[in-house]
Amino acid sequence: KRAYPFHEIEPKWQSFWEKNRTFRTPDEIDTSKPKFYVLDMFPYPSYVCSRRFIEVLRAGLMVCCSGAGLHVGHPLGYTATDILARLKRMQGCNVLHPMGWDAFGLPAEQYAIEVFSTGTHPKLTTLRNINRFRTQLKSLGFSYDWDREISTIEPDYYKWTQWIYLQLLKRGLAYQAEVPVNWCPALGTVLANEEVVDGVSERGGHPVIRKPMRQWMLKITAYADRLLEDLDDLDWPESVKEMQRNWIGRSEGAELDFYAVDSNGQKRDIKITVYTTRPDTLFGATYLVVAPEHPLLSSLVSTALSKNVEEYKEIASKKSDLERTELQKEKTGVFSGCYARNPANGEAIPIWVADYVLGSYGTGAIMAVPAHDSRDHEFALKYDIPICWVVTPEEESCVESRKAYSGEGTVMNSSNATSGLDINGLNCKEAASRVIEWAEKTGNGKKKVNYKLRDWLFARQRYWGEPIPVIFLEGTSESVPLHETELPLTLPELDDFTPTGTGEPPLSKAASWVNTTDPSSGKPAKRETSTMPQWAGSCWYYLRFMDPKNSKELVDKTKERYWGPVDVYVGGAEHAVLHLLYSRFWHKVLYDIGVVSTIEPFKCVINQGIILGEVQYMACKDADGNYVSADSSDLSSEHHQESIPEEKVMKSGDSFVLKDDPNIRLIARAHKMSKSRGNVVNPDDVVSEYGADSLRLYEMFMGPFRDSKTWNTTGIEGVHRFLGRTWRLIVGSPLPDGTFKDGSLITDEQPTSEQLRVTEEIEGTRFNTGISAMMEFINAAYKVFPVAIWYHKSGFWLVTNSE
């Protein structure tokens, strides 16, 4: 039996494809044919290093630093899109299936700084990583049109990223503002809210603090409603759409005005406006809370309490928004010494300062209704503030349960002759509209829609990014955009690009680049020294693939109209709110200025599942070294765990046991692949041992494409054998003269039902079941054809099957 010679087959075809540019999509195409644009989220060609990995590299413990590379998660998505691209080509579509590099940004720069000495230019490390990624992708046999390869760090490309920025400026969608930003001292830059997770930087896990700074912002909030509404018609995972909805966070309510009062109950000239989604509970507001960063706070606080409040503000400034708003966290606050008048019933209620209210949301102040909001309830109990029930729950009362009732019901205790407001007996919805109506009539407030979405902080104090095409007239903070003809504004060479630590961007060190003149007035000017954030280049790259070499336009209109939007976009679920929201925003702006013809960039988005490392089996052992079953009731902390190799493990029902002693149940668990666990599978190793097709086929066969799956080496051997059998059935059997010839199994017949089934499964992206169908087919074929049928130029050959 002949071994499947993938070592010969794969390089042969890969170089054939390369030489003949087989998968090239020509510039001029027959546009009467249907199109199919299938895209992978282009990779970030930089290793996102763990701290430990960097330490190991630094200590020289790793002999060779191969740097970046693909992990087995990449080929999962790339194989799926490759299958779709090949299928659609066979079905007669014009297919666009390109690949490129998202190569600017913090991780790439951090990689250059941390792994190599500060003298290594990020461009160097980035280009090297790109070369490695490209070689790996080619060795996997993907059918990309390499003629369309783009990289976000090339001036030809970022010229257009800068051009889009100028359009944003022109439309007032880019502006400068002094805002409290997420400052990361370790990375020496500010970060977007989306880049801060649990109070630390998403990349690297460095602490982040809040600090006011003057920054470029993009007005994504101006598109909040459209970003929300247009989600409905997209063929995207429901979970991603829901994450975007929550991120945009639209809520309807009211802004209500409370006036501060002095100790005699006299109205002072300080108006505190609160945002509430429950105006129906106005009579139940027994205190107000202002955020520690509220601008009116200093004028509210009594001298006796100002030291208290200052200390509290200091502590709060060190916490992240997430920490502050976490429901489980104990609420803290300090009394301001000041009172306000509830406009509905005239009562004076205390004003507190508490960090569970955020300065950046709504108005930064709330009316607290402890009876009907759990945070307020907890706070009121802790600080002994009255609780006033104003909504009767439909079911049993919550008064005894000492819990807030936040549901709907009938309003009570809510009538006052002086204010003229009476909402008793109404249901919550009616009551809410009545309160808004009353507030608008009496000048106490108005209806208000709020969004959680914030404007996008669009500047980084880092070197490795697109320069922002703006200058400042010397001595002023007046910004002047570059003229479009001055683009691209290229990034200057710098020897030392490390962050300065002061917030002053590294580019400020490039004196000859920074100092320039304003072309229209001839006056001296300075360039903006912050760069664009990592996400800029990826916001629009899918458009450039349609027309990658155009030097006159971002994309030719006719080409865009033919190829847009992307039909299938495959990538990781981690991009649900960052990249996928930002690019939708830019796309809509480009739509508004007539650059693109569709309102959405990606018709269908699919998230591939995560590939977990091989299942690891652990046995429990007691202090004397005896195995104890994992389901034993007398397991205690004295027991430790021992890793058991797979060959000593046996399946028993739903669980795993020791082969030698089936009474001993084991713990079986799959973990995320990580260097520290030592369970990382390197795709290069798999390719050299089993071939690219085995890797690809295995990853598609592992399970449903969207689910997370565990790696299993036995599984890859299985599909490798299947490939061998298939090959032997079709091309690998000897001819009568003992030689092997290229050829194909020929039939004039209609497609078999298996063939149709495979097409259906691929179109439904159920690759694993499609492969099962092929396996069934090959098994059946071995039974039906005792011989393999060979076609040769000189006629037909009948060949005895070798199996």
Contact by Cβ (8 Å): 671, 612: yes
Q: In the complex, what is the shortest distance from the CB of residue 582 to ligand ANZ, in angstroms, rounded to a whole number?
A: 22
Q: Per-residue x/- marks for ligand ANZ, 193-232, CB under 6 A?
A: ----------------------------------------
Query: CA 247 to CA 208: how far, in whole Å?
Result: 20
Q: In the complex, what is the shortest distance from the CB of residue 251 to ligand ANZ, in angstroms, rounded to a whole number?
A: 3
The reply on whether position 362 binds ligand ANZ by CB under 6 A is yes
Q: Write down the H helix ranges in 372-427.
A: 374-383
Q: In the complex, what is the shortest distance from the CB of residue 353 to ligand ANZ, in angstroms, rounded to a whole number?
A: 12
Q: In the complex, what is the shortest distance from the CB of residue 294 to ligand ANZ, in angstroms, rounded to a whole number?
A: 9
Residues 635-674 that bind ligand ANZ (CB under 6 A): none
Query: CA 145 to CA 99: how far, in whole Å?
Result: 7
The reply on whether position 357 binds ligand ANZ by CB under 6 A is yes
Applying CB under 6 A, which of residues 364, 533, 564, 683 lies at the interface with ligand ANZ?
A: 364
Residue 392 vs residues 240, 397, 420, 423: alpha-carbon distances, Å: 37, 7, 22, 13
The reply on whether position 320 binds ligand ANZ by CB under 6 A is no
Q: In the complex, what is the shortest distance from the CB of residue 291 to ligand ANZ, in angstroms, rounded to a whole number?
A: 6
Query: For ligand ANZ, how many residues bind (rule: CB under 6 A)?
Result: 19
The reply on whether position 444 binds ligand ANZ by CB under 6 A is no
Stretch near ligand ANZ under the rule CB under 6 A, chosen from 11-19, 306-314, 362-370, 714-722: 362-370
Beta strands in 561-635 (DSSP E): 566-571, 602-607, 611-612, 616-621, 627-628
Applying CB under 6 A, which of residues 275, 283, 463, 727 lies at the interface with ligand ANZ?
A: 275
Applying CB under 6 A, which of residues 130, 187, 366, 723 lies at the interface with ligand ANZ?
A: 366
Q: Whose Cβ is closer to ligand ANZ: residue 292's or residue 691's?
A: 292
Residues 281-310 that bind ligand ANZ (CB under 6 A): 281, 291
Stretch near ligand ANZ under the rule CB under 6 A, chosen from 127-135, 360-368, 528-536, 627-635: 360-368
Q: In the complex, what is the shortest distance from the CB of residue 372 to ligand ANZ, in angstroms, rounded to a whole number?
A: 3
CA proximity to 535, closest of 241, 239, 194, 236? 194
Helix (H) or strand (E) holding 526: strand 524-527
Query: CA 612 to CA 707: how far, in whole Å?
Result: 11
Q: What are phi and psi of 641, to 5 degrees?
A: -110, 145
Residue 193 vs residues 177, 220, 249, 558: alpha-carbon distances, Å: 16, 13, 14, 37
Applying CB under 6 A, which of residues 99, 218, 369, 398 lies at the interface with ligand ANZ?
A: 369
Residues 6+ apart with CB under 8 A from 552: none
Give the SS3 label for residue 692: helix
Q: In the complex, what is the shortest distance from the CB of residue 247 to ligand ANZ, in angstroms, rounded to a whole number?
A: 12
Applying CB under 6 A, which of residues 373, 528, 567, 699 lies at the interface with ligand ANZ?
A: 373
Q: What share of the chain is helix, strand, coil (3-state, %, to 5)?
A: 35, 20, 45
Residues 323-352 that bind ligand ANZ (CB under 6 A): none
Q: In the complex, what is the shortest distance from the CB of residue 202 to ligand ANZ, in angstroms, rounded to a whole number?
A: 23
Q: In the complex, what is the shortest distance from the CB of residue 622 to ligand ANZ, in angstroms, rounded to a whole number?
A: 51
The reply on whether position 470 binds ligand ANZ by CB under 6 A is no
Contact by Cβ (8 Å): 387, 377: yes
Q: Is the dihedral of CA 535, 540, 546, 548 positive or negative?
A: negative
Query: CA 402 to CA 283: how far, in whole Å?
Result: 19
Applying CB under 6 A, which of residues 406, 516, 652, 769 lies at the interface with ligand ANZ?
A: 406
Q: Which two tokens stand for residue 735?
A: 């001819």
The reply on whether position 619 binds ligand ANZ by CB under 6 A is no
Q: Whose Cβ is closer to ligand ANZ: residue 265's or residue 407's?
A: 407
Query: CA 390 to CA 414: how far, in whole Å?
Result: 7
Residue 226 vs residues 359, 453, 590: alpha-carbon distances, Å: 26, 13, 14
CA proximity to 191, closest of 503, 497, 450, 584? 503
Applying CB under 6 A, which of residues 110, 126, 189, 276 lies at the interface with ligand ANZ?
A: 276
Interacting residue ranges for ligand ANZ, rule: CB under 6 A: 251, 275-278, 281, 291, 357-358, 361-362, 364, 366-367, 369, 372-373, 406, 450
